[in-house]
Structure 1
Amino acid sequence: MDRKDNFINIKHLYNRGGFGIAYSDLHKLSRKSIEKVVNELLEIPKESADLATVDPDEVRRQMQRQSELGAKKELTEAEKNERQEITRIQNEQSRKLNLDWMQRLIGTEQPLLEKMTLFWHGHFACRSNNPMFAQQLNNIQRKYALGSFKTLLVEVSKSPAMLQYLNNQQNRKGRPNENFARELMELFTIGRGNYTEKDVKESARAFTGWTYNKEGAFEFKKALHDDQIKVFFGNTGNFDGEAIIDQILDKPATSVFICTKLYQFFVNETPNEAHIKELSNYFYRQKYNISDLMRKMFSSAWFYDKENIGTKIKSPVEFLVGLSREFHVTYNKPQVLIQLQSNLGQYLFNPPNVAGWPGGKNWIDSSSLMLRMKIPSLVLNDGLIDFSGKADPEDEAVIAQGKKSNIKPIKSAIDAKADWPKFLEGLPKKISPVELATFLLQPAVSAKVTGMIQNNLSLKNTAIEITSMPEYQLC
C-alpha cells in the first residue's frame, strides 16, 4: 500500500476508533503499517483513571437524609426546603459529571477507550437521578470497555444505576418484576425473536434478590431470592442471575446481536451480513473478548472500503468532541457544552429511554442540521448562539400533550477559544486550501467544494468554511 492510501486509511481508523487525529500525528503514523497502528490504538494502560467528579461519601449522606425525610408523614417548611436543596445539589453534580466526561473526551490520549465507553454508554442506556450511581456505571463501562463482554455485562447488571432504572430493586420472590430481565435480552444481549415470554418470566425469578444497599453497593438478598427450579431456554435448574447470563452468552445469536450493533457504530449503519457473520463467529470463539474483536474489525480490509469512509453521520458528541480536539478549543464557560448536547439531541447520562439514542439519520433534522452548521464558526470565532433546538424527551411529551412548556430560547455566548497557532503549526508549510479540505473532510472533496475554496488566502478562514459544510457532519 502506498503512503497516500495509508494516510487515508489511518485517518479513517482514527475518525471511527477515536475522534479524529492531528495532521502531524497522521503524517507520522502513515509511515507505519495498519496492523502496527491498530495495535498501538488498542494499547490501553492496565488501570485507566476513573471519573471522580462525585464524592461518594457526600452522596451517601444526601441519600441518608433523603431517606429520613421520606419516612416522615409531614415535613416542616424547613425540611421541604432541605429536600429541594439536596435535589438541587444532585442536579448540579450530575451536570458537573457530564462536563467532566466531555472534557475527558476532548482531552483524552486514549481515544479508543473513551470511544468504546461512549458506545457502551449508549448500548447499556440508563438514566439515574443519583450522580454517584451514574458515575459508578460510567466507570464500569470504561474499566471493561475493551475487556470481557461477560464481565462488563455482569458488572453493569449489578450496578445500582441499572438495578434502579429497570426496577430490579422491586424484583422479589413471589412478586417478580420482569423489566430488567426483558431488557437484558431484548436490548443488551440476544435481541428480539431469540427468547420467549416464558424465558422472560423465568429469568426474572432468577434475578430476584439482586439489589443494592444504602451505601450504593450491589447486594444479594437471599431472603428475597426465588430459589426454586426454573426453566430457561429449555434448560431446567435452580438458576441464579449469573447462570442466566451464562446461558444467554452460550447462544451464538448473542454474539451476532452485539457485533451488529458494533458494526453499525464503527463501520456502517447498513449491516453487511457477511462481515457481521465473520465478526460474530470470531467474537464467539474468542469467548467475547472485546479487544480481540475490535482488532479483527480494524484489521479487516473491508473496514477501509470506500462505502465505509465518510458515510456515517457523526453523533452530536462525536461532532462536538472532534471539533474541539481538532482546533484545541478551550471553553471558558463549559456549561455551554450541555446546552449544545441538549439542543443537538444527545445529552450524556440522559438517553431518551432504555433503548438509547437511535443514531444514524435520526441525528439530523432541519433544525439540528442548521445548528450543526452554525456551531463551527461560533465556536471557532466565539459568537452568540440561540438555543431553541431539540427538547428533552420528557419535555417533548409535555409539548405533545398540549401543555405549555417552560423552555424558552436562550441566547448565550459560546465563550470558547481555539488555539489557532497550535492548529496551523501542525500543518505542512505550503498546504493548499484543497489539501486542507481533504484532511478535514472524510467524504471525497467534490468539485463544488474545490471551486469554493481553492483561491482562499487564509487557512484559518478556509478551516472555518470547511467545518461549516454539511460534509463535515460525516465521518
Structure 2
Amino acid sequence: MLQKHIQHLCWRAGFGEPIALVKEHEKHNARQLFRKMREASETFVPIDVVEAADLAGDFRKLREMRIEKQENGTAFDRNKLKDLQKERREEQARLNTAWLDKMSKDAGALREKMAFFWHGHLVSRSINAAFSQSYVNTLRKYALGKFGDLLLAVSKEPSMLQFLNNKQNRKRNPNENFARELMELFTLGRGFYTEKDIKEVARAFTGWDFDLHGNFVFRERQHDEGEKTIFGKSGYFKGEDVIRMILENKQTALFITTKIYQNFVNENTNDVWHQEKIAFLAKKFYQTDYDISHLLEHIYTSDWFYDPRNIGTHIKSPIELLVGIKRTLNLDFAEDQTSLFVQRVLGQVLLYPPNVAGWPGDKNWIDSSSLLFRMQLPALIFTDKTPEIAAKSDGDINTEYQTQKRSFKAIIDWNKFAAGFSDNEQQLVTELSNFLLQLPVQQEVIQGLRNQLKETDKPETVKKLTGALLMLPEYQLC
C-alpha cells in the first residue's frame, strides 16, 4: 500500500500510528492491514479504575449529612458535601484518562475508535463514575459486534436508564424520553415513526430499572402488560420486542450506515457517488444482521475509500487531535490533568457529551478561539509553556476541575522518533510532511521550512520541524 493510504486507514479506523508501524504496513494490502487491526482488537479488557456502584452507601452518606446539618449547622454539612463531590469528580477524571490511555497506547485502536464513535451516537451521561465506567465498557465490549447486541446492552445500562428518565417510566405514568430518542437519534431517524409509536414504545419499556448496585432489573409490577400497537403491529410487547422490531426495519440499517459513513468516509454525502456507496453498504449491513465488523471491512477494503476525494477531508475532533498527537509521537504528559484541560478548551470532554444528540462535529469544531488553541497546542507541548487561553466554565461543579490551567510538560523520545526519518535534511522535511499531513502542502511552505534549518543535531531538527508542521492548518484534517 502507499504510505498515504496506510495513514488514511490508520487515522480513520484508529488514531494514527507511529512511523515505524506505517513503514511495516507497506508490505500489506488494505484487506490484510484491516484484518491485522481487527485481530489486534479482538481481546476486550474492561477498564477498571472505579469501584462498583454503591447507591445505598451514597444515600447513607447524604442522610448522615442531613442529620449532621440539623445538629451542627450548615457549614459542616457543606464541607462533607464538597468532599463527596470532589470524590466523584476525581473518579470521573481517572476514568477519562484511563480510556484516553487505551486510545493512545493500546494496539486495539479499532475497538477504541468504534467505541468512541458509539459514545457520540448512543449518548449517555452520568455523574456516577461507576455508571459511566459500566457504560463505556459496554460500548467497548460490543463496539465491533452486532449492532442489535450493542443497542440492547446500552439500553439496559444504568447510565442510560437514568439519563433518559426510564427509571421514572412506570405503567401509571409513562415517561417518553427514552422511547423518543431510541427511535429519533439511535436507530430510525426523524420521520419514520409517529407520536403514537412513541407513546406505545414508552409503555413497552415500563419497568426497566436498576438496583442499588447499578444492575439492570425488570420490575414487573411497574410494567404495562396491556396490548400495544407499534409500527402498525399489535401485541403485548416489551422492550426487547421493540428493539427487535426496530432492527427488522431496513431504515435502521440505512440510518446507522449513513452515520458511520459520514464519520469514517466523508461528511458530505449529498451527491450520487456517495449515496450509491451508502445504499450498497446498508443492504450488506442488514443482510449480515447488523455485523459492525463486517460493515467496516467493506468500507476499509474498498478502492473508493482511498479515492482522493475522501482523503484529508475529515476535521479531527478534539479527542482525535489529542490522541493522534499522543499516539503518533508516542507522547505522554507529565500530568494526567493536562489532557482534561485540552479536552475542555477544545469542547469535547470524554464522558460528558453536551446533550443526547452528542457532539455536532465537522465544521462545528472550528471557531476563532478553538482554532487558535489548536494551532498553538504543539508549541505549548514542545516548549512547556503555560497557555494564555482559559477553559470556559459551564457552571457545572462536575466539570470545574477541567478548567484549571495545567503544565504542558510532555515526555517524548525524540531520538527514537527521529530514527524513522532520513538523515538528509532536505529529504527530512518532505518525509515528515508526508507522515504528519494527509494533504499536500505548498512547495513554498516546504522550502520555507528548509530555509529555517540550522546546524543542529537530528533529534532537535526533527523536533522543530514537527512542531512547525503540526501548527499548519493542514494538520487539523485527516
Smaller-chain TM-score bracket? over 0.9
Are the equivalent residues in 1 in contact too, given 2:40–2:107 (CA < 8 A)? no
Measured in 2, the distance between the counterparts of 1:69 and 1:154 equals: 37
Deviates more, 1:165-174 or 1:87-96: 87-96
Q: 1:333-352 residue pairs with structure 2 within 5 A?
A: 333-352=335-354
Deviates more, 1:342-351 or 1:413-422: 413-422
**Of residues 449, 457, 470 in structure 1, which corresponds to 2:473?**
470
**Of residues 376, 379, 386 in structure 2, which corresponds to 1:377?**
379
Seen in structure 2, the aligned counterparts of structure 1 residues 7 and 89 have a Cα distance that, compared at 3 Å, is same
Measured in 2, the distance between the counterparts of 1:410 and 1:74 equals: 31
CA drift of 1:126 comes to 1.5
Measured in 1, the distance between the counterparts of 2:407 and 2:23 equals: 35
With normalisation by structure 2, the TM-score equals 0.91
Q: State the one-letter code of the partner of 1:314.
A: K
**Of residues 359, 362, 385 in structure 2, which corresponds to 1:360?**
362
Are the equivalent residues in 1 in contact too, given 2:422–2:428 (CA < 8 A)? no
- Percent identity among equivalent residues? 42
Are the equivalent residues in 2 in contact too, given 1:315–1:359 (CA < 8 A)? yes
The corresponding residue for 1:398 is none
Measured in 1, the distance between the counterparts of 2:197 and 2:66 equals: 37
CA drift of 1:386 comes to 2.3
**Of residues 403, 413, 418 in structure 1, which corresponds to 2:407?**
413
CA drift of 1:392 comes to 4.0
The corresponding residue for 2:116 is 118
The corresponding residue for 1:259 is 257
Are the equivalent residues in 2 in contact too, given 1:438–1:445 (CA < 8 A)? no
CA drift of 1:310 comes to 0.7
CA drift of 1:114 comes to 0.7
Measured in 1, the distance between the counterparts of 2:405 and 2:67 equals: 43
Q: Does 1:25 align with 2:8?
A: no
CA drift of 1:383 comes to 1.6
Measured in 1, the distance between the counterparts of 2:20 and 2:33 equals: 15
Q: 1:190-229 residue pairs with structure 2 within 5 A?
A: 190-229=188-227
CA drift of 1:451 comes to 2.8
Q: State the one-letter code of the partner of 1:199.
A: D
The corresponding residue for 2:464 is 461
Q: State the one-letter code of the partner of 2:377.
A: I
Q: State the one-letter code of the partner of 2:407.
A: A
Two-structure CA RMSD over aligned residues (Å): 2.2
The corresponding residue for 2:138 is 140
Are the equivalent residues in 1 in contact too, given 2:18–2:329 (CA < 8 A)? no
Q: Does 1:241 align with 2:239?
A: yes
Q: 1:140-219 residue pairs with structure 2 within 5 A?
A: 140-219=138-217
The corresponding residue for 1:35 is 31
CA drift of 1:409 comes to 8.1
Are the equivalent residues in 2 in contact too, given 1:24–1:427 (CA < 8 A)? no
Are the equivalent residues in 1 in contact too, given 2:253–2:290 (CA < 8 A)? yes
With normalisation by structure 1, the TM-score equals 0.92
The corresponding residue for 2:275 is 273
Q: State the one-letter code of the partner of 1:418.
A: I
**Of residues 419, 427, 430 in structure 2, which corresponds to 1:425?**
419
Measured in 1, the distance between the counterparts of 2:42 and 2:404 equals: 44
Q: Does 1:302 align with 2:300?
A: no
Secondary structure at 2:87 match in 1: helix
Are the equivalent residues in 1 in contact too, given 2:176–2:198 (CA < 8 A)? yes
Measured in 2, the distance between the counterparts of 1:240 and 1:410 equals: 47
Q: Does 1:230 align with 2:233?
A: no
Are the equivalent residues in 1 in contact too, given 2:204–2:242 (CA < 8 A)? yes
